Chains A and B, each alone.
Chain A
Amino acid sequence: MTFIQQNGSTMRFKPRWLAALGVIVALALTMSACGEGDEGSDDGGTTSESEFPAPTSAPEGAQEGGELTVIAASDVDYIDPGAQYYQFSYMVSSATQSSLVGWAPDDVEQPTPLLAESAPEVSEDGLTITYTIRDDVMYSPPVDRAVVAADVEYAIERSLLPGVPNGYTQTYLADVDGIEDAVKEAQDNPTGGAPDISGITATDDTTLEIRLTDTSSIGVIGALSLPVSAPVPEEYAEAFDAENPSTYGENQAFTGPYMIENDAEGALTGYTPNKEIHLIRNPNWEASEADFRPAYLDEVTFQEGFSDTVSASKKVLDGSAQVNGDFTTPPTAIKQAATEGEEGQLTLTPSGGMRYVSLNTQLPPFDDINVRKAVVANANRVDLRNTRGGELTGPVMSHILPPEFPGFEEAGGLEGPDLDYLANPEGDPELAADYMREAGFESGQCEGPDCEITMVGDDVPPGADTAEVVASQLEELGFEVDYQKVTHDVMYTKFCSVPDNAPEVCPNVGWLKDFNDGQSMIDVTFNGENVVPENNSNWPQLDVPEINDAIGEAKLIDDLDERNQAWGDVDTMIMEQAAFIPYIWDEQANIQSADVAGVINKFNANWDIAFTSLEQ
């Protein structure tokens, strides 16, 4: 039974402390010993998101002015919008830059035009995308001029430079005409300026045309909703981009309502890596109907370095004018917010992320689908979720595409596809034994040298806790598990993401959407054509030709309904391979001080500082 189902619609008539009590009970249950089930109290369904809803609009008469402090544990990945590829970084750039289209707080399926006047037009043959750029957007000082379409072209082209380590352009813009030549040009001459992508042309100051070699416009449009399409003035940036790595990020020009404080030359004085990002109003930005951001606050300071997230959360909850930044609120703080906090101090939002235990389909014994099905059937996924904090951290995952995401319902909704080994989130040992027998293990237990397996996982909780539970569940099926503990980054860059070194089991992998389209959840992670020698994200190394073909076809569908159905179908095909143990669709718990009227951006699952205000 889920938290929502436990309380039902009558909750609104009950005193608030009853809701809080419910949260404590849920926490107590979910934080209890991992080896025990929840005695039927939890079918792994939806969470208490509706108890702690995410506000997606500012209150009536929201107050103008004031300073907000964002408390963070670490820094942005990059300050350069061309390279940013991280939720926390988007929190900054969504307020300081204007990409072609952006994600308004309640946008779930499609982004809203921002720098573009309207949604992009796709030609009938699906091979040309045209953006019309607004002519009233100005750069911050010292650039002080209007944005033109050529600036967006330059922004995209510079993202191919090795000195601007963009992690997604080449993936999603792979079908843009001329991109391969441009990539080669950039790599041959990394400090020779941004390469020309022949398929991207600014035909005049307000028109940007993108020509494709295939009908993959939705993926391209999705990628261009990210900060890479924020305009960059070439005449100003080229000197910085001639360095490798580029230093444009530390000298960038802004087009959003806020800017990072800078000096007369444009050098950022308001950014100290790992310490602070100080935003002030951009004097050249004017509110208009074309820009959906109201920008209530006068200043925003991102204070970084709060490694102890328990203290940091307490500081936010007890303090004034503060919100959490990059860290997930720890269970103790969630409890405090739920029980002692004022209404609205805690919000829960689906993050569009998933966590799973990867089974290496290229190595025995997991090259046998029946062994994999046995492992998935035996897994108590509720226990695995408990290691991350329990019910409040999100529903138990039953397939790939997460809640509130296009294709989620098509893939089976919360219950997931009709597969017996996924039917019981608390595990089905008998079914597991049956599958082991089908795999040739008469005893129903894994036997022989192939059953001595290696697992490489995190060396610290909560990942290490998850790995311990995975190991014990595998041992129940007769496996002998050699659990190698390493840091999270080492786990990826030396083992799980390097197929030659990949162990049989990677218990701590996960994926977060790039944008709201099935391609960003499925293509890199489960397409056999994307298994690469390093930085591989298809951790199970799943390589099934039918699935690869289906992914290839889904990417080219430009009708949204058809596309969502196609991705839902691909999702089911992948789940039929039992290549991993799915255990959680992450929900992001965000907290704010009592005097903050925070607005959550659903796309980013974090506070939208361009909509957040202080209470009067």
Chain B
Amino acid sequence: MARFITRRLLWSVLLLVIVSAVVFLIFYIFPTADPAQLRAGRQANADQIEAIRESLGLDKSIPEQFWIYMKGIVTEFDLGRSYQSNAEVRDVIFSDLGPTALLVAGAVVVWLTIAIPTGVISAVRRRSLLDRVTMITTLAFISAPVFWLGLVALYLFASDVGVIHIFPGIGSYQSADSFTGRIGALLLPWLVLAAATAAIYARYVRAQMIDVMEEDYIRTARAKGLAERPVILRHALRSAITPIVTLLGLDVAVLLAGNAILTETVFNIPGLGAETFNAIKRSDLPMIQGITLFGAFFIVTFNLIVDIAYAYLDPRVRYQ
């Protein structure tokens, strides 16, 4: 196991270096705004721009810039400073991670709470009216873009811009001054972020359950006289949920990496997604680079966690 983890870790480091290099190249190959000119302001002369370019290290060759960047990360865990705000990228990421983690954690709880029972019931009561209604509903949620759903939810239920004032409104996370206030501010974003994912997971759980319920060991369990509930929950669901864990690991990693961008933007939650949005708008390479690296780190880490969880959930993996 230790060798396995070591090997995976080494691959992960290589992957992170490759990701950094790719982001660097993309920034220079595709037409992006010149950060030195943006920083210099509209009346700055060539000397001023050159001086700023020098101060940002943009006058060096691309390989040299990349080397300095990577050296900074390895030796000091220094992700550089934002071109725009001059803030330490590392500090910004850590400060943004809290809201994003809270948003993602809550949404995961919501979508699993909805998806697993819905998927199981639909599978067990296949082709019933309940199954059909559930599947049509999930299809509707899958089809609804998150930003649209977010705006509709706000216009219906937010206390500031909504018709029915139920949930705290836009920007309420920022203005909340207590943990419970922040939780309250996240209720609507959780529901919105979870809606589409819950729908996908429900359909996935249903499909897995239908497959598993036809396996020989389920028939054996029933033949041994086990009640239906333990058959479903203890034997079928445990097996059916294994691929869901893989999916969950990746989804959580991707969301933590800033992919909750639309939800965070619509609800103005100051997380990594909103930061990514700002960084892209302002051609802020260090920030884009830092968040991408951080995201890649999450994806790699969660993949590792998923592999380990697999072994726990599915005895067959352990035996292999």
Which of A's residues lie within 8 Å of B, judged by CB? Answer: 69, 71, 74-75, 77, 79, 83, 85, 162-163, 165-168, 170-171, 183, 186-187, 190, 244-245, 247, 249-250, 272-276, 301, 303, 305-308, 311-312, 314-315, 318-319, 486-487, 489-490, 492-494, 497, 514, 524, 532-535, 537
Contacts and interface: CB of A to CB of B under 8 A. Distances in A.
A307 B47 contact: no
B151 A183 contact: no
Contacts of B48: 162, 165, 170
B8 to A, nearest CB: 35
B12 interface: no
14 contacts: A85-B41, A165-B52, A168-B43, A171-B43, A245-B55, A274-B275, A303-B175, A303-B268, A308-B266, A312-B170, A314-B160, A315-B161, A489-B38, A492-B37
Interface of B: 31-34, 37-49, 51-52, 54-55, 81-82, 84-87, 92, 95, 151, 154, 160-161, 169-171, 174-175, 265-266, 268, 270, 274-275, 277-278, 281-283
A305 B270 contact: yes
A532 B37 CA distance: 13
Contact of A162 (B33, B51, B277): B51
B38 A493 contact: yes
Contacts of B31: 486, 490, 494
B46 A535 contact: yes
B80 to A, nearest CB: 12
Given A167-B43, A534-B37, A315 B169 contact: yes
B270 A275 contact: yes
Nearest to A76: B85
Contacts, number: 145
A335 to B, nearest CB: 15
Given A85-B42, A167-B41, A311-B170, 15 more contacts: A74-B281, A75-B84, A75-B278, A163-B55, A165-B39, A165-B40, A167-B43, A274-B85, A307-B265, A311-B151, A315-B161, A315-B170, A489-B33, A535-B43, A535-B46
B175 A493 contact: no
Contacts of A250: 86
A311 B43 CA distance: 34
A494 B33 contact: yes
A494 B277 CA distance: 21
Given A162-B52, A165-B52, A187 B47 contact: yes
B40 A535 contact: yes
Nearest to A250: B86
Nearest to A247: B86
Contact of B46 (A71, A318, A533): A533
A74 B265 CA distance: 12
B41 A166 contact: yes
A493 B42 CA distance: 10
A311 B275 CA distance: 19
B45 A535 contact: yes
A273 B37 contact: no
Contacts of A162: 48, 51-52, 54-55
Contact of A168 (B41, B151, B169, B275): B41
Contacts of B161: 311, 314-315, 318
A533 B50 CA distance: 12
A74 B95 CA distance: 18
Nearest to A244: B55
A535 B44 contact: yes
Contacts of A249: 86
Contacts of B87: 273
State the 4 A-B residue pairs at the shortest beta-carbon distance, nearest first. A167-B41, A489-B33, A273-B85, A162-B51
A307 B275 CA distance: 12
A85 B48 CA distance: 15
